[in-house]
Structures are given as C-alpha cells and as structure tokens.
C-alpha cells in the first residue's frame, strides 16, 4: 500500500526512461512548429536551421527507443505525426516562402501535393511491417532535401523547384525500395 522513497524513485525513473524517445520526438515536433513560426515571420534562415535540428532529434528518438528497448505503437504513431510537421509541412513552406509563392496557384498546388504525398507515405509506413527496407523515399529524407533547396534559391530559377517538388512527392509514394542504414 505504501511505497518507500526508493520504490517511488525507481518507479519515476522507469516511467521517465520509458518516455525518453517520445520526449525526443516531441522536441522534433516543437522544432518543426518553431521553424514554421519563423518561416511565417519571413526569417527563412532560422526556419531552415530549425528543420535540420528537428532532423537530428528525429534521428535520435528512434536510436534511443531501440537502444532502451522502449519501442511502442504509440511512439511510432507519434513519430509519424511529428514528422509530417517537421519534414512535410515546414520544409515545403520554407521553399514556398523563398520561391514558389511567385508562381501563384501552381506554387500552392505543388506545395500541397508534397504535404499530401508525405502524409500518404507516413500512413503507409505505419500500417506495414518494416522489413529493413523503406518503400518509397522517407519523408525525413525528402523534407531535408527540399529544405536544402532553400540554399539554391538565389542561383536556380524558381520553376525548377516545382519539378523537384513533383519528383519528391512521387518518390515518397513510389514502390522504390531503400535499405535502412
């Protein structure tokens, strides 16, 4: 009925350990949301940096979950929701604000296409058994590469980015098999 102080500490440590990966996932989400806020305020450079910081936390959350043997269905679903913000929405809005807004409706349509394909990619990943290979380009890869396009906006005409968006949109939902490293 009554727990000793040592038992309470052990119980608390066990609960915190069990949530470590989810905490890192939520940091990923927070950085993605913060990136969006900076992007909306036209501070694209800070938004770009925050997207890549989110990528680091996304990399660590899975490693920590496997290392501590705390993988869960909840964590998998949470990770996908966070990845949609940090690597689906934030990078494409960065590119939209940097260049694609100039193209009006087509810029909007292809921005949304990337987000939709990213959501499909994540949903498909969540309902399939992972066999060591990804089917389609992971949204984290596509999103980071789209974010990197921001660095090219002074040098490449904007309409090229529409083609890049289309390519990555379809690569995410393609049946390409990519070995996990």
Digit-coded pLDDT (tens) for 133-181: 888 999 999 999 999 999 999 999 999 999 999 999 999 999 988 887 7
- Rounded CA-CA distance 112/130 in Å is 27
Least confident of 22-26, 42-46, 73-77: 73-77
Looking at residue 180, what is its pLDDT?
78
Q: In this prediction, what percent of the chain has a pLDDT beyond 70?
A: 90
Structure-token pair, residue 35: 């990136």
pTM: 0.88
In the chain, the domains with their CATH numbers are 5-179 (1.20.120.1760)
Question: Tell me, what DSSP letter sits at residue 17?
Answer: H
pLDDT at 2: 62
Neighbours of 174 (CB within 10 A): 14
């Amino acid at each position: 009925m009554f727990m000793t102080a040592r038992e309470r500490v052990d119980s608390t440590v066990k609960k915190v350990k069990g949530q470590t990966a989810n905490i890192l996932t939520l940091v990923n989400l927070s950085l993605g949301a913060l990136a969006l806020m900076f992007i909306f305020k036209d501070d694209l450079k800070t938004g770009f940096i925050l997207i890549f910081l989110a990528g680091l936390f996304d990399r660590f959350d899975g490693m920590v979950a496997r290392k501590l043997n705390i993988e869960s269905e909840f964590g998998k679903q949470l990770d996908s929701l966070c990845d949609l913000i940090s690597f689906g929405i934030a990078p494409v809005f960065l590119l939209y604000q940097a260049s694609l807004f100039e193209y009006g409706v087509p810029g909007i349509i292809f921005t949304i296409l990337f987000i939709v394909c990213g959501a499909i990619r994540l949903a498909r990943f969540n309902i399939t058994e992972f066999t060591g290979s990804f089917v389609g380009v992971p949204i984290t890869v596509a999103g980071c590469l789209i974010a990197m396009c921001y660095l090219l906006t002074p040098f490449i005409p904007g309409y090229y980015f529409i083609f890049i968006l289309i390519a990555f949109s379809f690569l995410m939902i393609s049946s390409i098999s990519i070995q996990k490293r």
